[in-house]
A and B are shown apart, each in its own frame.
Chain A
Amino acid sequence: MDADMPLLDVRDLRVTLTGSEKDITLVDSVSFTAGAGEILGLVGESGSGKSVTALAIMGLLDMPGLVVSGSVRFRGRELVGLSQRALRHVRGREIAMIFQDPMTAFTPVYTIGWQIDEAIRAHEKISRRDARTRTVKLLNEMGVPDPERTANRYPHQLSGGLRQRAMIAMALSCNPALLIADEPTTALDVTVQAQILDLLRGLRHDYGSGVLLITHDMGVVAETCDDVLVLYSGRMAETGPAAALFARPAHPYTTALLDSIPPLTGPRPARLPSIAGVPPSPAARPSGCAFAPRCHYAHASCTTKPPLIVWEEQEVACVLPTEGHALPPRITAGETP
C-alpha cells in the first residue's frame, strides 16, 4: 500500500435503476477520496443520494435493477464488481457502517452483547467468552456505563444514546479502517448528539479510522468534518475543505444550506431563509444544472449541465465562478470554523 494512496478513492460512481421504460440515475458521477484518520462529510437534503452512495461503496445495493458502475478503490483494491463472498470479508473488518436509527439496527430478539459478539465472531475464530470480553471492553471505551450489565440487555431496554454507542461499538468490533456513519445523530436529541460526535472525533485518534459522515445537518459538519462533499440530486454540487467551504461557498446550494441555519449572534432574522421548492425526483431531473429550478442565480447558461471546476480551494459544479460572478464570501458573526 502506497503511503500517498488514499484509504478510499471513489471515482465516477454511478448508481442506475434500470427500468422497463427508462433508466433512472440515482447517483451521477460522484468522486471523492477519504484518507485515514480523516472525517469526510457527505451533505445533502433527503433524497440527494447520500445513503445510496454509502451503500454502493459497501456493495450492499443488490436489489434487482440497480446497477453500480464506476470505481471504488479501498486501499487500492477495487470493490465495484467484487463478489458478495469477497465483499463479506471487507465489510465489518475493513469498512463498517453505523445507521441512523439505533432502534432498528439491532435485532429485537437478542441482547446487545450477544449481537456484538456475533459481529466479532463473523470475522474471527474466537470463543464466545473471549468475544464477550472484547465486547465489554468496547462498550466501556464507547462510554457505556456498567458495560457488563448493559451487554446483557435487550435493545428496547436501552436509551437512544446508549443504543447508538452500542451500535458504534458493534461497528468498531473488528477495528475497521473506515467507518461510514449514516446520519448517526439524527434520531438523537442534541446533548446526546454532541456526545456521539465527540466519540466519532475521538475515533481517528484512538483507532486511526477514517470516517465518512453522512448528514444533512451543516452544524454537525462544521463541528466534526475535515472535508465536505455537498450532494444535490445525486450529483456533486461542491467539495472542498470544510473551513474553505464554510467561509467561501461557491455553489448557491451550499450557500442556501448554510443560510438556513439560524444564526447564534446578531439580529434575529424575521424569517429563517429556506430553499424554496423540493429537490427534483431522480426521474425528473432537469437536463441542465439540477439545482437551477430552485436557484436565485439561474440564468441561460444553467440549461447545460455544469462541469465540476476547481475554484479557490474547492471544486464546484456551477457556472458562476467561470463567468466571473463568484458568490461573495459569507458574512457570519465571526463564528466560522
Chain B
Amino acid sequence: MASLALLACMATASLCAPFYARDIAHTDPFRSNVAGSFTLDGQQIDIMQPDDNPLHLGLSPVGPTWRAPFFLGADSQGRDVAARLLYGGRNSLLIAFFAAALCMILSATVGIFAGFFGGVLDMVLSRIMDIMWAVPVYLFAISLSIVTIAQGLKIGPFTIASDNLLLPIFIIALVYIPYAARVVRGRVMTLRNAEFVLAARSLGVPRFRILMVDILPNVTGSLVALAPLLTALALLTESALSFLSIGVQAPAASWGTIIQDGEGLIYTRPMVAMAPGLAIVLVVLALNVLGDTLRDALDVRDSRRENG
C-alpha cells in the first residue's frame, strides 16, 4: 500500500512539473541560463558562482537553496534541477509505463500463441526468444538505440524522429519480450493441459474461444504480478539509455539525462546527480515491493527467470 502511495505521489508530482516551473520557480528548465541571476531573501544571487577553491577560478552552479527557485540548485547550464527532475519524471515514468505495457501485450501474445498452439509455431517463436535472450539486455538495447537515434526510424511511409519518445518505448519493450514471454508461455503450457481446457474441448468449444475464455483470464494473474517488475526494469533501462545519451534527447529531461548532467558536478554539487538517482531508487523499490505484494496476493507460483 505504501509503495502504491509513493508511486502515486511521484506520478502526481511529475504531472505538476509545468505548474512548478512556471508558477513557483519561475524558470524555464529547458533553456540555458548561465548568465542569469535570481533573488533570494531580497538578495540578488548569480546562478553561476565562483568556485570554492582558493583562487576562485572557474564557475560552479548554485547549490540547493531548499527554497522555491533552485530548490535543488542548478546544473551546469544554470537550469533549475528541481524543475528538470519533475519534467524528467514525466518522461521516465511515461516511458517506463508504456514500454512495460507494450512489452506485456507483445509478450502475452507471443507467449500465449507459443504455449497454446505448440508445435512448429512454438519452436519458431521460442528460438527467436532464445536468440534475443542470448544478447545481454543492455547491449541489445544500446545497439538498437544507437542505430535508431542516429537517423530516426523509417518504416515505409512512417518516420519516427530520433527525439521521439516512441523510440525508447519500442526499444525497451522489445528487449524485455523474452523475459515476460517465457513466463506466460510456461503458464499457458500448464493451463493447456488443465482439466477445464480438456472439458471445454470435450464440449466442442472452438479453439479460439478456449484461448479467450479459458486461457487468457487465467494468465492475467501472472501478467499483473509481472507488470510492476517489468515497469521497474523498463525504468532502469530507460535511465541507463538516457544516461548514455541514447534515450531521451536533450533538451528534454529524464532522470537518466539529469544524472548525466550531474556527472561532472558530482564533487561540487552532488545533489544534481543524487536527486534523480534517489528518485529512481525509490520508484524501483516501490515497484518491486508492489510486485511482490501482488504476487503473494494472486498466488502466482511461477518461477521467474532472474534478470542479470
Contact = CB atoms under 8 A, between A and B. Distances in A.
Contacts of A92: 202-205
Contact of A122 (B119, B196, B198, B203): B203
Interface string A45-70: 00000000000001010001000000
B86 to A, nearest CB: 40
Main secondary structure of the interface of B (DSSP, over half): helix
Interface string B180-203: 000000000000001110111111
A107 B213 contact: yes
Interface residues of B, number: 20
Contacts of B198: 60, 99, 105
Q: Taking each of A60, A118, A170, which has the highest tally of chain B beta carbons within 10 Å of its own beta carbon?
A: A118
A107 B202 contact: no
B218 interface: yes
B119 A106 contact: no
A91 B195 contact: no
Given A105-B195, A110-B213, A96 B218 contact: no
Contacts, number: 73
Contact of A93 (B201, B204, B213, B214): B204
A101 interface: yes
B217 interface: yes
A122 B205 contact: yes
Contacts of B218: 107-109
B67 interface: no
A107 B195 contact: no
Contact of B194 (A60, A104, A110, A123): A104
A64 B119 contact: yes
Interface in A88-105: 88-93, 96-97, 99, 101, 104-105
A236 interface: no
A97 B200 CA distance: 10
Interface string A270-309: 0000000000000000000000000000000000000000
Q: Which 4 A-B pairs have the closest CB atoms?
A: A92-B204, A91-B204, A92-B203, A97-B202
15 contacts: A60-B198, A64-B118, A89-B204, A90-B204, A96-B202, A99-B195, A104-B194, A104-B196, A105-B199, A106-B196, A109-B217, A118-B213, A122-B206, A171-B202, A174-B204
Given A90-B204, A122-B204, 6 more contacts: A91-B203, A92-B203, A105-B196, A107-B217, A122-B206, A123-B204
Interface of B: 118-119, 194-196, 198-207, 209, 213-214, 217-218
